A and B are shown apart, each in its own frame.
Chain A
């Protein structure tokens, strides 16, 4: 069940990411759904799930993007593992800590990703800080939203079903 959920999350994230990137070049840089999914999995299921999700999501994302396969994988594996470790050590059940984790994960991912590319391409490393922090904020918001949806959805369904049942028993 957990594996299926992780795979479903990653699949959905990839789908969203490719869709957004196909719609707008700017849109592709404003958000990284795969990274959001990895951080989400790491916070939800721990470091092992986080690193495996990061490796799988990153490799697939690299393969789809046409770049060097493995750089995104390494970055997301590192982020997934560290976020999972931190999430296991601290209480990150509230939106604020989760936002910090998403933002931190995004910054770490970008730093690692850009550094590795600069390393293997033999060029000077250059960080687009504005884009990075913008994406970090967007990722954080999307992550918090995802948590809210996933955690709030069962209660919402139950309340709707209970309301339907109440209306059904009434006799007017």
Chain B
């Protein structure tokens, strides 16, 4: 899956910023030729006289959406690496209402005011200055309602995840909704608008037809499954597994857990009963069949310093889980070498509450090789060894790889 491109590693930072500048150029150019530098044209939207804002915005959204999900469906674009604005529901809604008020009073939104200012519209310049002041004020007052501002967080939540619908169904539904809004918008323009409007070109029916057809296409090709994504990356990743590049020694896991600069997320994929018997302190239990459903959460959580470590009794189930995470392009995923058995062999010492099973299963069978007097979970001392007490020899393997700086996203 080559797209989106890892631009920074591919062409370096200056050229990457040039690409963003060119995209910005296209953005500003199109806004201007659509009339978005003119506040009267923008404000007319709110009096049903000129529905340009609605038409441009929703046409742009459905064209981009259909193109994006076609590419995702064809396996050319990796949706996991596409930035999806995280949902903070109430701050978004209240901020949106405030913006709507600012829009109708000031006549612009931030992007359009830039274009107005760059074409010497004086009201645009005042709006930009006001906008900068408002942004400054937010930075100075955010600390007073920080808790609320970070509340109602749903992470990377898409409409298809929320409604549990197929992507193609949502795409088609959004296209049809937009077409209905265009039809309604044109009716309103006829009723409230000026008489001297340019006649709407017949070509818009062709465009609508193309979009509906493409949306049906998205529905028919479907979205790639985890298995098909794994098939695409398998050659390189099987090699990493075979060369033992991603299996980390218990000593290294202990060290990175103790490293304040890293966030380590330990995912224990064993049956819950075994997790209750013994698990590493801080590990969370997740059943393999639930793994796919937490992928969006992992992507939302993912900061640049996050390391994911998969844990089973040996390595079998952990390796399967690692394949799921890797296929879904979760970066920095590793496997605990030798699993829980190796962990206890390393840190278990003479603890009497757990003994090796009398009849050890053959190695590689991924079964628990210890019996426990009681299900103490992480209350064994071996579950939470002190990083300072252990000096272990191992080859460090964790290398933080950063695909793209996604921090902040579009406007965050």
Query: Do chains A and B interact in one complex?
Result: no
Partner-A contacts on B (CB < 8 A): none
